[in-house]
Amino acid sequence: MTAPVTDGTVAPNPWTTGRVAEMERIGDHLVRLRLELAERFAFVPGQHCVLRLRAEDGYTAQRDYSIASDPADPLLELMVECLPGGEVSGHLHDEARVGDELELRGPIGGWFTWTGEQPSLCLTGGTGVVPIISMLRYARRLDLADRLRICAVGRSRTELPYADELLAAGAFVALTRENLGDRVASPPYPSELEPLLDGIERAYVCGSVGFASYAVRTLRELGVPADTIRVEQFGATG
Ligand SMILES: Cc1cc2nc3c(=O)[nH]c(=O)nc-3n(C[C@H](O)[C@H](O)[C@H](O)COP(=O)(O)OP(=O)(O)OC[C@H]3O[C@@H](n4cnc5c(N)ncnc54)[C@H](O)[C@@H]3O)c2cc1C
């Protein structure tokens, strides 16, 4: 394994292969892949990797996917949402099988990372929760969970990746298209976010471009300083 460098980023690694060791299709649109890497690499929670598909004629397509696993997990976990007409996500959802070998390079990104020092709030939309799951698993292993507060927004319980794990860990989950217990479907209210802000030194926002701009605006309106907000956007590649 490559050792992390001291500033929280990790030296880049060459392409390696990830053998699909486990996979689970969840609902109609999500697939969870657990990969056994030929060359394991060290990473910091919040980082992502690049996955490259190669056709027999040599055509390649590559996309970024956040890492969901804890750095100590022997397998690398990804959670992919199948987008309508999506070239890579569609293949992973519909065609990938246990035993397939995927080309992969990582870790990427040194900014959207959490090493456990700063008390932080994570505000995520949909699959934007994936890098936060890595942070959560890392925090729980190191008994740092009190430093990580999570508000995860999703359409429904089946469409929000890791909804059960988040709820079991005490995260605040806001569903926008179905009720959750006594909570009526809606985005998070400022009054629901305010208690999560007490004492935080950093905020992580992750999701679609639209979600990220809504989340940053909401945090700014609640008084969170702009320079403490770190954003990762899952923008369209088409
Ligand atoms: C740093 C980073 C981390 C990411 N992590 C994840 C992750 O953990 N899980 C995950 O599912 N995705 C993640 N993504 C998004 C991922 O990289 C791809 O963009 C996504 O899987 C679509 O690729 P595709 O080949 O299936 O779709 P394409 O064939 O590229 O596009 C198909 C259609 O979908 C639209 N589209 C493409 N990307 C998106 C998008 N992200 N949101 C909405 N519409 C889109 C296109 O405009 C087009 O109309 C991440 C992106 C970034 C930049």
For ligand 1, atom 53, the nearest C-alpha belongs to 234
Q: How far out from the chain centre does Cα 179 lie?
A: 24
Q: What is the pLDDT of residues 175-227, one digit of tens each?
A: 999 999 999 999 999 999 999 999 999 999 999 999 999 999 999 999 999 99
Q: How far is the CA of 234 from the centre of ligand 1 (A)?
A: 6
**Within the chain, what is the greatest distance between any pair of CA atoms?**
55
Residue 101 sits in a domain of what CATH number? Answer: 2.40.30.10
Asked if residue 175 is part of any domain, the answer here is: yes
Instruction: Assess if residue 115 is contained within a domain.
Output: no
Residues 213 and 126 in one domain: yes
Among the candidates 108, 141, 174, a domain finishes at 108
Pairing type for strands 60-66 and 48-54 reads: antiparallel
Q: Which two tokens stand for residue 60?
A: 């390649």
3-state helix, strand, coil in the chain (%, to 5): 25, 35, 45
Q: Is the residue at 209 inside a domain?
A: yes
Cα(142) to centroid(ligand 1), Å: 31
Q: What are the tens digits of pLDDT across the range 59-115?
A: 999 999 999 999 999 999 999 999 999 999 999 999 999 999 999 999 999 999 999
Within a domain: 6? no
Cα distances (angstroms) measured from residue 5 to each of 2, 111, 230? 9, 13, 20
Nearest residue by C-alpha to atom 7 in ligand 1: 65
How far does residue 86's CA lie from ligand 1's centre (Å)? 8
Which of 108, 134, 169 is at the close of a domain?
A: 108
Q: The domain containing residue 159 runs over which residues?
A: 120-233
For atom 46 of ligand 1, the residue with the nearest CA is 238
Domain closes at, from 79, 108, 137: 108
Q: What is the pTM of this model?
A: 0.94
Residue 8 lies in a domain: no
